[in-house]
Amino acid sequence: MIKSELVNALNEKLAELSIKDVDLAINCMLAQMVDALVQGQRIEIRGFGSFDLHHRTARLARNPKSGERINLPAKVVIHFKPGKELRDRVDAARAQCDIKE
């Protein structure tokens, strides 16, 4: 749903490009971002935020329902840190979204 809205918004701003071209450009950009993360690189989009990888070590956990011990393997997770501009805009919109502390 969001992607189609993005494609339409970009197509309105870049009327000389077809919707297919805009969609292709967005897909290409997302594919490049995925490839960069797969290669262990950090992605920074000024004013929006950054994507980084966090390495979690293997650990022994406990199933809260049964109490059984479970071995969790090491893994890599994607971490997103919003930029200051994005944080400020979201924080300023709290009143509109009826968000309470």
CA dist., res. 3 & res. 8, Å (int)? 9
Domain-located, residue 5:
yes
Q: What is the pLDDT of residue 6?
A: 84
Q: What is the pLDDT of residue 14?
A: 85
Domain-located, residue 47:
no
Digit-coded pLDDT (tens) for 58-96? 999 999 999 999 999 999 999 999 999 999 988 888 777
CATH of the domain at 77: 4.10.520.10
Domain-located, residue 46:
no
Beta strands (DSSP E) in the chain are 43-45, 49-56, 59-62, 69-72, 75-82
Note whether 58 and 98 are same-domain residues. Answer: yes
Domain carrying residue 56: 52-101
> How many domains is the chain partitioned into structurally?
2
Digit-coded pLDDT (tens) for 13-48? 888 888 888 889 889 999 999 999 999 999 999 999
How far CA 50 is from CA of 26, 33, 53, 101, in Å, comes to 18, 11, 10, 26
Domain-located, residue 21:
yes
Tell me the three state secondary structure of residue 32.
Answer: helix
Note whether 26 and 67 are same-domain residues. Answer: no
Q: Which amino acid is at 40?
A: G
